[in-house]
Structure 1
Amino acid sequence: MSDFQLKTPVAFIIFNRPDTTKRVFAEIAKARPPKLLVIADGPRANRPDDTEKCAAARAIIDNVDWDCKVLTNYSDVNLGCKRRVSSGLDWVFDTVDEAIILEDDCLPHPTFFRFCEEMLGRYRDDKRVMHISGTNILTKNLKSNSYCFSKHMGVWGWCTWKRAWNLYDSSIKFWPTIRKSKLFSIRNIEINGGTYRQIYDDVYNDKIDTWDHQWQLCVTLHGLAIFPCVNLIYNCGFGENATHTTNKRDHRANLKFGELVFPLKHPDYYIIDEIDGKSNKQIMINMTKYCFFLIKRYLNLLKSKIY
Structure 2
Amino acid sequence: MQNLAPIALFVYNRPQHTERTLQFLQQNELAGKSRLYIFSDGAKTKADEEKVAEVRAIINKVHGFKSVKVIARKENAGLANSVIAGVSELITDYGQVIVFEDDLVSSPHTLAYFNDALNRYREEEKVMHIGAYMYPLTAVDLPQAFFYRAATSWGWATWERAWKNFEPDIDILIKQFDKKKRAAFSIDHKMNFWKQMQEFKKGKNNSWAIRWYASIFLKGGLTLNPAQSLVNNIGHDGTGVHSGINDIYNVIINPKPITEFPDSIEENKQAFKAIKSFLTHRKGNMMIRIKRFAREKLAQYFSK
Q: Same fold (TM over 0.5)?
A: yes
Identity of aligned residues (%): 23
Deviations 1:23-56 (A, max 9, x none): 11123333224321111221122x51x1111122
**1:162-177 → structure 2 map (5 Å cutoff):** 162-177=160-175
- For 1:224, the equivalent position in structure 2 comes to 222
From 5, 24, 31, the counterpart of 2:21: 24
- For 1:37, the equivalent position in structure 2 comes to 37
Shift, 1:18, TM fit: 1.0
Q: Name the CA shift for 1:107/1:66 in 2 (closer, same or farther; >3 Å).
A: closer
Distance 2:141 2:293 in 1: 40
- For 2:195, the equivalent position in structure 1 comes to 198
Q: Note if 1:281 corresponds to 2:279.
A: no
Equivalent AA in structure 1 for residue 253 of structure 2: F
**1:226-305 → structure 2 map (5 Å cutoff):** 226-247=224-245, 249-253=246-250, 255-261=251-257, 264-286=259-281, 287=283, 293-294=289-290
Whether the aligned pair in 2 keeps the contact of 1:146 and 1:260 (CA below 8 Å) is: no
Q: Alignment RMSD, CA only? A: 2.8
Whether the aligned pair in 2 keeps the contact of 1:103 and 1:157 (CA below 8 Å) is: yes
Whether the aligned pair in 2 keeps the contact of 1:112 and 1:134 (CA below 8 Å) is: yes
- For 2:115, the equivalent position in structure 1 comes to 117
Q: Secondary structure at the match of 2:176?
A: helix
The aligned length equals 288
Equivalent AA in structure 2 for residue 40 of structure 1: S
| Runs of at least 5 residues in structure 1 that lack an aligned partner in the other structure | 299-307
Deviations 1:119-150 (A, max 9, x none): 00000111110111111224543545321000
Deviations 1:196-242 (A, max 9, x none): 33322222343312211111112222210001132110212221322
Q: Note if 1:158 corresponds to 2:156.
A: yes
Q: Secondary structure at the match of 1:173?
A: helix
Q: Secondary structure at the match of 1:63?
A: coil
Deviations 1:246-296 (A, max 9, x none): 31x33113x10112345x223242231233333443344332855994399
Per mean C-alpha deviation after superposition, the further-off stretch among 136-145 and 221-230 is 136-145
Q: Which has the larger radius of gyration?
A: 1
- For 2:90, the equivalent position in structure 1 comes to 92
Equivalent AA in structure 2 for residue 60 of structure 1: I
- For 2:12, the equivalent position in structure 1 comes to 15
| Runs of at least 5 residues in structure 2 that lack an aligned partner in the other structure | 295-304
- For 1:303, the equivalent position in structure 2 comes to none
Whether the aligned pair in 1 keeps the contact of 2:10 and 2:82 (CA below 8 Å) is: no
Q: Name the CA shift for 1:18/1:114 in 2 (closer, same or farther; >3 Å).
A: same
Distance 1:244 1:168 in 2: 21
